[in-house]
């Protein structure tokens, strides 16, 4: 996966590559999908949701420019795979999932793998996680019409946010850096994510 999908497409951050080599993706997919756990695609994880394509996980993680001391918020835990990758690369990871059964399953795997720095919550992540804010990095793995206002507010000064923004079926993956009251957008590429359902996302 790393040699055929990530490096040829330009993933360069050595720490990201190491994390992608280390985290056992097959533990985060359903049993019937084991044979394609490392294939170049998103896979269903139940409840109409998906575990993102490996390249997308690596690309979003690389865009966060993690050095190891950051407090990160992830919106959309899903399988917990992205959270585990972040757990390898950041100090603390707070991940919010709106579907309780997914949050519970992700929590079990994360615990089994020993990621004491990854904390999973059930709720509407479009509201952020005020009690643990501010965050040095925010990653949103479900798409919304705009970057939710609470997430902008809960980002630290100099912090980086990566999120898919656009229509329900097609979006731009954008990176924003917070500088005072301004957000500088310095990266954007086409992507397709499942919808963010919540107060600052789409209606169910
Ligand atoms: N990062 C995940 C991919 C998850 S897909 C992984 O590595 O597997 C996006 C997830 O966002 C879905 O599980 C969906 O239920 C969740 N989601 C959608 N709206 C949400 C919201 N408002 N708050 C939290 N999670 C949400």
Report yes or no: 116 and 92 within 8 Å, Cβ to Cβ: no
Beta strands in the chain (DSSP E): 43-46, 49-51, 71-75, 92-97, 118-122, 135-140, 155-166, 171-179, 182-191
Domain hosting 17: range is 2-191
In a domain, 199, yes or no: no
Q: Which residues line ligand 1 (CB under 6 A)?
A: 49-52, 75-76, 78-79, 81-82, 96-99, 102, 124-126, 141-142, 194, 196-198, 201
In a domain, 166, yes or no: yes
pTM over 0.85: yes
Which numbered atom of ligand 1 lies nearest the CA of 45?
Answer: 8
Please give the distance, rounded to the nearest whole angstrom, from the Cα atom of residue 123 to the centre of ligand 1. Answer: 10
Over residues 44-61, the pLDDT tens digits come to 999 999 999 999 999 999
- Establish whether 126 is a catalytic residue: no
Write out the DSSP string of 26-49. Answer: GGGS-GGGGGGTTSSS-EEEETTE
Omega into 134 within 30° of 0, i.e. cis?
A: yes
Which numbered atom of ligand 1 lies nearest the CA of 52?
Answer: 3
- Please give the pLDDT value at position 184: 97
In a domain, 159, yes or no: yes
Confidence of residue 167 (pLDDT cuts 50, 70, 90): very high
User: What mean pLDDT do residues 119-135 have?
Assistant: 98
Over residues 66-108, the pLDDT tens digits come to 999 999 999 999 999 999 999 999 999 999 999 999 999 999 9
Over residues 187-200, the pLDDT tens digits come to 999 999 999 999 99
Please give the distance, rounded to the nearest whole angstrom, from the Cα atom of residue 74 to the centre of ligand 1. Answer: 9
Confidence of residue 181 (pLDDT cuts 50, 70, 90): confident
In a domain, 165, yes or no: yes
In a domain, 197, yes or no: no
Count: domains in the chain: 1
* CATH number, domain with residue 17: 3.40.50.150
Please give the distance, rounded to the nearest whole angstrom, from the Cα atom of residue 97 to the centre of ligand 1. Answer: 6
């Amino acid at each position: 996966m790393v040699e055929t999908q990530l490096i040829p497409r330009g993933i360069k951050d050595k720490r990201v590559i190491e994390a992608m080599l280390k985290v056992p993706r097959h533990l985060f997919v359903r049993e019937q999908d084991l044979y394609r756990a490392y294939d170049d695609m998103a896979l269903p994880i139940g409840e109409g949701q998906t575990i993102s394509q490996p390249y997308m996980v690596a690309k979003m993680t690389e865009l966060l420019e993690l050095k190891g001391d950051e407090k990160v918020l992830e919106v959309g835990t899903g399988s917990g795979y992205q959270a585990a990758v972040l757990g390898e690369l950041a100090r603390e990871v707070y991940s919010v999932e709106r579907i309780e059964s997914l949050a519970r399953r992700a929590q079990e795997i994360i615990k089994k793998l020993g990621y004491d720095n990854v904390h999973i919550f059930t709720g509407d992540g479009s509201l952020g996680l005020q009690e643990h804010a501010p965050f040095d990095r925010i990653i949103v793995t479900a798409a919304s019409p705009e970057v939710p206002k609470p997430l902008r507010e809960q980002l630290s000064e100099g912090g980086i946010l990566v999120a898919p923004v656009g229509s329900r079926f097609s979006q731009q993956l954008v990176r924003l850096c917070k500088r005072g009251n301004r957000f500088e957008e310095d990266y954007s590429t086409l992507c397709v994510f499942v919808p963010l359902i919540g107060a600052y996302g789409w209606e169910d």
